[in-house]
């Protein structure tokens, strides 16, 4: 055995570059870590080492070499030598200009394959691929191409180019915050058009099939189908037709047309002392 000099028998034999070692002697010379065929390294001094100790003794020296802190050594190197071995990196993407119309739309620099991001056939630098408004980094899931030839996140795109007006869209970002409304009928009723005798009892205008609600053979607009007193929206479960030809919710119907006196009705809204 190269380590202890004893005879090595077959039952305890470990081979390393044709040399026979005892199993208990087959460990790193420096840190005494037990070795196997995966991590054993034969050193130029004819001894065996683990990968970490081998790198410290005979690996390249200086910042940035090898695979971990065990290999980062500065032994015998001056600051100038260390700096000269550091790789040069220039983060300025505009230093290499691209031909007109071929570079990054944001900075105009040349876009190489390792840093490119695609958006509608245009190539962007990875660091330039962010929202033009809020500068949020984008990816293929949230990037939106705007009509201004810029890219935006979904929220900013909705604010800039989405429909304006209260009640539009599926998220608060698509609701106008400047008070402007593009609704054709801001008050919920048409401002012009033919009135009809058989029209909606509330507004008098014609009711089309797409917006009709039926109550005792009378046809109402969906937007007009609410309680005459509290203006609560109605449906077939809480609708009550009053004797005055209007419609009410259960509470208002009971107060107006239900029996009077203590104990009558369906709730506090219908209990009166008159």
The residue to which tokens 């071929």 are assigned: 102
Same domain, 99 and 75: no
Phi first, then psi: give them for residue 109, nearest 5 degrees.
Answer: -80, 165
Final residue in a domain of this structure, among 87, 115, 145: 87
Span 106-122, pLDDT tens digits: 888 888 888 888 887 78
Contact 36, 42 (CB under 8 A): no
Same domain, 33 and 113: no
Same domain, 59 and 113: no
Same domain, 82 and 103: no
Domain enclosing residue 16, as ranges: 1-87
Same domain, 7 and 40: yes
pLDDT value, residue 131: 92
In a domain, residue 173? The reply is: no
Final residue in a domain of this structure, among 87, 110, 125: 87
In a domain, residue 99? The reply is: yes
pLDDT value, residue 28: 92
Per the prediction, the chain carries an average pLDDT of: 76
Same domain, 78 and 15: yes
Confidence class of residue 273 from pLDDT cuts 50, 70 and 90?
Answer: very low
pLDDT value, residue 174: 43
The residue to which tokens 């100790």 are assigned: 53
The proportion of the chain whose per-residue pLDDT surpasses 70, expressed as a percent, equals 71
In a domain, residue 129? The reply is: yes
pLDDT value, residue 90: 52
CATH of the domain at 136: 2.10.110.10
Span 15-55, pLDDT tens digits: 887 788 898 999 999 999 888 888 888 888 889 999 889 88
Same domain, 49 and 114: no
Same domain, 3 and 75: yes
Span 195-240, pLDDT tens digits: 777 788 888 888 888 788 888 768 888 888 889 888 888 888 888 8
Return the beta strands (E) in the chain as ranges. 13-16, 19-22, 41-42, 48-49, 116-119, 122-125, 144-145, 151-152, 212-215, 218-221, 240-241, 247-248
Same domain, 122 and 46: no
Tokens encoding 237: 């479960």
Contact 71, 65 (CB under 8 A): yes
How far are the Cα atoms of 61, 62, 89, 107, 250 from residue 80, in angstroms, in the given order? Answer: 14, 11, 17, 34, 89
Confidence class of residue 71 from pLDDT cuts 50, 70 and 90?
Answer: very low
Split into its structural domains, the chain has a count of 3
- Rounded distance between C-alpha atoms, residue 60 and residue 33, angstroms: 22
In a domain, residue 11? The reply is: yes
Helix (H) or strand (E) holding 84: helix 79-85
Residue 91 clears pLDDT 50, i.e. is over it: yes
In a domain, residue 168? The reply is: no
Taking the CA of residue 204 as centre, how many other CA atoms within 13 Å lie in the half-sphere pointing to its CB? Answer: 5
């Amino acid at each position: 055995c190269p380590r202890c000099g004893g005879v090595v028998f077959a039952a305890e034999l470990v081979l390393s570059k044709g040399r026979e070692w005892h199993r208990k002697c087959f460990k790193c010379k420096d840190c005494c870590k037990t070795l196997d065929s995966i991590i054993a390294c034969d050193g130029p001094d004819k001894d065996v080492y683990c990968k970490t100790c081998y790198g410290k003794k005979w690996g390249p020296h200086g910042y940035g070499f090898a695979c971990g802190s065990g290999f980062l050594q500065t032994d015998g190197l001056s600051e100038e030598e260390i700096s000269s071995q550091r790789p040069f990196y220039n983060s300025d993407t505009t230093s290499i200009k691209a031909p007109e119309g071929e570079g990054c739309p944001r900075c105009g620099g040349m876009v190489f394959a390792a840093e490119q991001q695609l958006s509608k056939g245009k190539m962007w630098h990875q660091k330039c691929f962010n929202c033009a408004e809020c500068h949020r980094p984008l990816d293929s899931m949230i990037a939106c191409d705007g009509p201004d030839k810029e890219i935006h996140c979904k929220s900013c795109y909705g604010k800039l180019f989405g429909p304006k007006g209260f009640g539009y869209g599926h998220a608060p970002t698509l609701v106008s915050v400047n008070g402007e409304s593009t609704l054709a009928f801001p008050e919920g009723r048409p401002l012009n058009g033919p009135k009809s005798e058989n029209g909606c009892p509330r507004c008098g205008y014609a009711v089309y099939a797409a917006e009709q609600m039926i109550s005792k053979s009378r046809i109402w607009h969906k937007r007009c189908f609410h309680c005459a007193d509290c203006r609560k929206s109605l449906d077939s479960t809480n609708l009550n037709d009053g004797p005055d030809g209007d419609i009410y919710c259960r509470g208002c119907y009971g107060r107006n047309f239900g029996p009077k006196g203590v104990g009558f009705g369906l709730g506090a809204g219908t209990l009166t002392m008159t």
